[in-house]
Structure 1
Amino acid sequence: MSTATATPLTVADRCDRCGAQAYVRVTLPVGELLFCAHHSREHADAYASVAVEIQDETDRLHEEHGAR
């Protein structure tokens, strides 16, 4: 699995679970999933073993919104 940064996620990228802004892109052997920070943590165990690449930009939450 690679964690290299691909095209940055934008405000137009939405979580596949809830529609919030996506901060994590999970590339699978077939397709990809986008997750907000909450759902990426919730489903990390399920996708970690099958992901080809994980692009995690959750650190941007601290920069943009002061989230903890």
Structure 2
Amino acid sequence: MTTATAPSSLSAVDRCDRCGAQAYLRVMLPSGGELLFCAHHAREHGPKLREVASEVLDETHKLDETPASAPGSEG
């Protein structure tokens, strides 16, 4: 018996299978394989990928987050 686990969040070491940029979308396939895509390719292929995926982890919202101020910065 296998136990399904939630995919872990993506990090900077996860790279897009199409272009090598940082991945923000992980697509789990029914076969057990996975595909990783940058935000650009996620937008381009996302609708079709969602049709065939067994699970999708979409972290493209991270691109909209405002980074914290750098230490020692004025503001």
Q: TM-score, normalised by structure 1?
A: 0.81
Q: 1:58 aligns with which of 57, 60, 71?
A: 60
Q: Deviation per CA, 1:10-34: give whole Å up to 9, x if none.
A: 1000000000000000000120100
- The 2-side partners of 1:60 and 1:6 are apart by 17
State yes or no: 1:15 paired with 2:16. yes
Consecutive unaligned residues of structure 2, counting only runs of 5 or more, are 1-5, 68-75
Consecutive unaligned residues of structure 1, counting only runs of 5 or more, are none
Percent of residue pairs bearing the same amino acid type: 59
Q: 2:38 aligns with which of 31, 36, 39?
A: 36
Cα displacement (A) at 1:45? 2.5
Aligned length: 61
- The 1-side partners of 2:28 and 2:7 are apart by 10
Q: TM-score, normalised by structure 2?
A: 0.74
Runs of 4+ deviating beyond 4 Å: none
Alignment RMSD, CA only? 1.5
Cα displacement (A) at 1:6? 2.5
* Counterpart residue number, 1:24: 25
Of structures 1 and 2, the larger Rg is shown by: 2
Cα displacement (A) at 1:64? 5.5
